[in-house]
């Protein structure tokens, strides 16, 4: 045990050294977050090939180093670690959280329709994009999922009658696949519509989503939020990455250990995980100069601009999803096992959530911090017109994007290592089963790093 601990300690030290060395190569690299975040530029001060190969090499090296942890009991103990924390009155916190959620929803609708038209002055724009999709989403994988309490639609639905039907028996399509389509649709709406610039349009979309959510809750009860609602599913899956869990009091655990559990029940839920990873990647991709050049060339030869973005969204998702299936099945063949491929596809997929979280924080942390003063000012005086304050981040802050992306991938490698040891009695089989997964992780890493290294440009033909 002591030898295994020392080997892991040396491996971690080596990974930290490589990561810090890599981050020293990077200049500014801040992601975009819609038109209200255009001031967050991105640039790269080293050759792109060196930048990308360094990131891919770090992930590959992390896989090799993780294989040094061969003590099965030690790996299991790391992933099973839990420590109960002193909990305040959770019932009071839950009551306060529900009130905050309802207040947030009413603020978004009221200020969206009646507040200032300038995006950086409108509290609805800032709450949705800065406070909710950037700030609250980051809190889900950094601290734990509080959305079930804050979710205003769930709170409203709890006071309404319900028919409490079974979604799988009523809906004509697979429920997880329906959620996947819904998530991709939300990403598409975010990108092609001027929701980051038009407060009244945003308020209308929120009202429409409220109607859908409450109608779903009327038909299916709380099962709508547990099984159908794509937003609730995103927060629940992000919460599995977090070091805190609130299922039975407040418990501290190793970050990512919740991903080792068998938390996905079907191929549709695997597709949802891949859609979450691809959607965040796609959001960054369409704000790069190469995409702008490609989009103008495609539209220039007669392809309708209205088809370009949804087709690219679907093709990219199918590429990410197909690549994952192919690589995981290859790993299963290389492990020389008779176990069902579907089990490998389902069990290894949660590790991708660590990658999605790492890219999300790289994509949105600078955006959130930049808009934080404007968000506070808009909440303090939601209907006031005046000057807007934003935070100017130091130049070195952009280098953290590389660290966040790599940290997510390193965590994903460790999670996959634990899953492999849980599935196979043989150390060699456990390692071989991860070959294909590691290959696709390296490709995902290099894609993410390439995106965060590109300067921001407004996506053409949208808005």
Distance CA 51, CA 450 (A): 8
Which residue did the predictor score with more confidence, 141 or 446?
Answer: 141
Give the pLDDT confidence score for residue 30 in this predicted structure. 34
Which residue did the predictor score with more confidence, 192 or 148?
Answer: 148
* 44 burial level (CB within 10 Å; 0-12, 13-18, 19+): buried
Give the pLDDT confidence score for residue 145 in this predicted structure. 95
Residue showing tokens 């799988």: 168
463 within some domain: no
User: Please, which residues bridge with residue 450 across strands?
Assistant: none
> What average pLDDT does the segment 314-319 reach?
96
459 within some domain: no
Count how many Cα atoms sit within 13 Å of the Cα of residue 308 in the half-sphere of its side chain.
22
458 within some domain: no
462 within some domain: no
460 within some domain: no
Would you state the structure tokens that stand for residue 315, as one six-digit string?
């093709």
| % of residues, the chain, pLDDT over 90 | 48
Res. 325 pLDDT band, cuts 50 70 90? very high
> What average pLDDT does the segment 431-453 reach?
82
Domain that holds residue 52: 2-453
304 within some domain: yes
Q: Residue 426 CA to chain centroid, in angstroms?
A: 33
Give the angle 58-62-65 at the CA atoms, nearest 5°.
135
> What average pLDDT does the segment 450-455 reach?
80
Which residue did the predictor score with more confidence, 146 or 342?
Answer: 146
The model's pLDDT over 262-302, given as tens digits with 9 standing for 90+, comes to 889 899 999 999 999 999 999 989 999 999 999 999 999 99
The model's pLDDT over 8-27, given as tens digits with 9 standing for 90+, comes to 344 334 433 433 343 333 33
461 within some domain: no
Count structural domains, the chain: 1
383 within some domain: yes
The model's pLDDT over 393-419, given as tens digits with 9 standing for 90+, comes to 887 787 788 788 888 888 888 888 888
């Amino acid at each position: 045990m002591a030898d295994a601990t020392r080997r892991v300690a040396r491996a971690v030290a080596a990974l930290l050294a490589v990561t810090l060395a890599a981050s020293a190569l990077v200049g500014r690299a801040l992601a975009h977050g819609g038109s209200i975040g255009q001031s967050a530029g991105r640039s790269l001060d080293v050759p792109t090939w060196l930048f990308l190969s360094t990131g891919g090499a770090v992930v590959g090296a992390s896989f090799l180093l993780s294989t040094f942890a061969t003590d099965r009991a030690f790996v299991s103990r790391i992933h099973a670690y839990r420590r109960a924390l002193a909990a305040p009155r959770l019932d009071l916190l839950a009551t306060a959280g529900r009130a905050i959620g309802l207040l947030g929803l009413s603020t978004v609708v009221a200020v969206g329709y009646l507040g200032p038209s300038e995006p950086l002055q409108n509290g609805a724009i800032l709450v949705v994009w800065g406070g909710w999709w950037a700030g609250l989403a980051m809190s889900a994988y950094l601290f734990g999922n509080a959305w079930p309490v804050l979710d205003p639609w769930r709170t409203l639905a709890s006071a309404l009658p319900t028919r409490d039907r079974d979604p799988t028996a009523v809906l004509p399509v697979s429920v997880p696949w329906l959620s996947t389509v819904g998530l991709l649709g939300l990403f598409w709406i975010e990108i092609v519509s001027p929701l980051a610039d038009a407060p009244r349009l945003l308020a209308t979309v929120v009202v429409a989503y409220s109607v859908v959510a409450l109608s779903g809750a009327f038909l299916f009860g709380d099962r709508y939020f547990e099984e159908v609602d794509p937003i609730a599913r995103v927060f629940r899956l992000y919460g599995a990455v977090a070091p805190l869990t609130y299922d039975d009091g407040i418990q501290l655990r190793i970050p990512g250990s919740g991903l080792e559990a068998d938390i996905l029940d079907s191929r549709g839920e695997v597709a949802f995980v891949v859609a979450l990873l691809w959607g965040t990647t796609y959001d960054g991709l369409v704000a790069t100069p190469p995409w702008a050049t490609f989009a103008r060339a495609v539209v220039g030869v007669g392809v309708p601009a209205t088809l370009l973005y949804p087709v690219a969204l679907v093709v990219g998702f199918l590429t990410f999803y197909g690549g994952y299936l192919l690589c995981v099945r290859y790993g299963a063949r290389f492990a020389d096992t008779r176990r069902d491929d579907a089990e490998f596809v389902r069990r290894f997929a949660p590790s991708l959530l660590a990658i999605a979280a790492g890219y999300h924080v790289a994509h949105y942390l600078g955006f959130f911090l930049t808009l934080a003063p404007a968000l506070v000012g808009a909440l303090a005086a939601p209907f006031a017109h005046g000057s807007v304050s934003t935070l100017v981040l130091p130049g070195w802050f952009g280098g953290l994007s590389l660290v966040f992306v790599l940290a997510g991938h390193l965590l994903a490698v460790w999670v996959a290592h634990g899953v492999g040891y849980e599935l196979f009695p043989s150390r060699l089989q456990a390692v071989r089963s991860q070959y294909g997964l590691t290959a696709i992780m390296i490709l995902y890493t290099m894609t993410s790093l390439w995106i965060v290294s590109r300067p921001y440009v407004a996506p053409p033909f949208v808005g």
